[in-house]
Structure 1
């Protein structure tokens, strides 16, 4: 009992410190045994504000619904790679999984995950934000350890009081892909977007890619989004010829509910949805 209480107190102090003081946190390797993919090693961030992530067969199977082996898939807003790795396992060694995240603190852990499971995955990452114009942007977080956050733009102007000393680079994804991955573009099957409230802006910047190649799309409806912003997100995605579906979690056993109108976007406070070209 004493050791448990001591551990709880130490954890509370560590979290308080992480919220107030910026510092580097390392990583801890976790091993998971999947029925189909076998042994998978994942680098979990030692930041006390971030719960350890688990790689499961059910999550990989979720992505396999959308990502064929050998295809190109893209993770925009990777964080440490907890969706990037399952996506890459679905695409396989013969596929290409691109990951983008401008947060240098999570990007270091993401790079550790790139080095792992290379016999089963092909992950290539870039420390860039995806924006509608190329440039440099301010990046801020609500806590000092930068466990989450985002860039400031016309859609989301404030992410918190803790700001990176250096600006981050923003790129136009379609231009970047045409320049660097033109040969792989015809195989693009899936794009995931999780950018702290700027999902609609990013999706609009992908309009050319979505119309031409029609990959499946996953995005987040942000907690702080107003009913009007939620409606705009629905209209943007459905206007590109996509049908939207709420899903309860990244698992092949998730509850799935069709989103048939902008009003449906207000049924849940924060949620992810997937969209399929109709």
Structure 2
């Protein structure tokens, strides 16, 4: 080796780079120590908002999860959970201990592998994972997502949510995957003997109405507990469709973390925390977005 060849290679350069490394690695180490103490162990990617919530707090939407624990326990729907739009398994992992069986459905070819890994890591053998999407009809469609945010993806041909719903442009949905859709009715119908004691969670970024309509005959017959995400402006008829199905009362998990700016929301968080409430749905006074609207069977203990 002659004198002109390199013999040293910096992992961390002195000065600013060293300060950056010490601060960032130190902070991540503290978060990792907190994560190791939690009952749920999740594989996460720090670039995603959902994953950062999990890394920071152990779960995404902890208030929503707590409300679901309450509703599921009170309603007695504990035989089966069908998680339609499972993503990396946040809700499946958090709620699986309540159920005899869980079916987690996620069409994303990459996130599905993380979903499977999270079920294995948390030793949940009663959770089955299914790598396809659900809709009124089957077929091959395009799943598109933001390269910077894997928690934001939609089926291009079927979603009712425009890019502006997510604060993005059409061009920012740069990652595209060819995925398979299966019939929602056919998939759920295979569990018919358990549906009266089932919780169905639907979070599919703009295909909620399509899936509710596909499942309507089963909902009328078996009346499982159902929760669906709602963006009111983009899906104005969804509440009316849910209200038209007999045997249900509509509740909503409302998020009170609102405000015009991040600074305002941060101040509100500092002094009031982030509160979720479980309330009956008033169709004349709807919020712009609900993490879940709940179709609660009238005969459940929640309605007594």
Q: TM-score, normalised by structure 2?
A: 0.67
Distance in 1 of aligned mates of 2:34 and 2:140: 33
Secondary structure of the 1:212 match is: helix
Q: Is the 8 A contact 1:72 1:185 kept in 2?
A: yes
Compute the displacement of 1:152 (Å): 2.1
Compute the displacement of 1:8 (Å): 11
Match in the other structure for 1:174: 185
Match in the other structure for 1:141: 145
Q: TM-score, normalised by structure 1?
A: 0.72
Pair 1:99–1:139, CA change in 2 (3 A): same
| Equivalent of residue 111 in structure 2, options 106, 117, 120 | 106
| Equivalent of residue 201 in structure 2, options 192, 195, 201 | 192
Alignment of 1:1-278 (within 5 A): 6=20, 30-33=35-38, 40-50=39-49, 51-53=52-54, 54-55=58-59, 59=65, 62-63=68-69, 65-66=71-72, 68=76, 71-91=79-99, 95-118=100-123, 122-143=126-147, 146-156=150-160, 160-161=170-171, 162=173, 166-179=177-190, 181-182=191-192, 184-186=193-195, 188-222=197-231, 225-226=232-233, 229-230=235-236, 232-241=237-246, 242-248=248-254, 254-261=276-283, 263-265=284-286, 267-278=287-298
Pair 1:199–1:238, CA change in 2 (3 A): same
Count how many residue pairs are aligned between Structure 1 and Structure 2. Answer: 241
Secondary structure of the 2:81 match is: strand
Secondary structure of the 2:227 match is: strand
Q: Is the 8 A contact 2:230 2:292 kept in 1?
A: yes
Compute the displacement of 1:64 (Å): 5.2
Deviations 1:186-213 (CA, angstroms, capped at 9, x unpaired): 4542111111122111111111221111
Distance in 2 of aligned mates of 1:60 and 1:264: 24
Compute the displacement of 1:124 (Å): 0.6
Give the unaligned 5+ runs of structure 2. Answer: 1-15, 26-32, 164-169, 256-274, 299-304
Compute the displacement of 1:219 (Å): 1.0
User: RMSD between aligned alpha carbons?
Assistant: 3.5
Secondary structure of the 2:42 match is: strand
Distance in 1 of aligned mates of 2:205 and 2:87: 11
Give the unaligned 5+ runs of structure 1. Answer: 12-27, 34-39
Pair 1:234–1:49, CA change in 2 (3 A): same
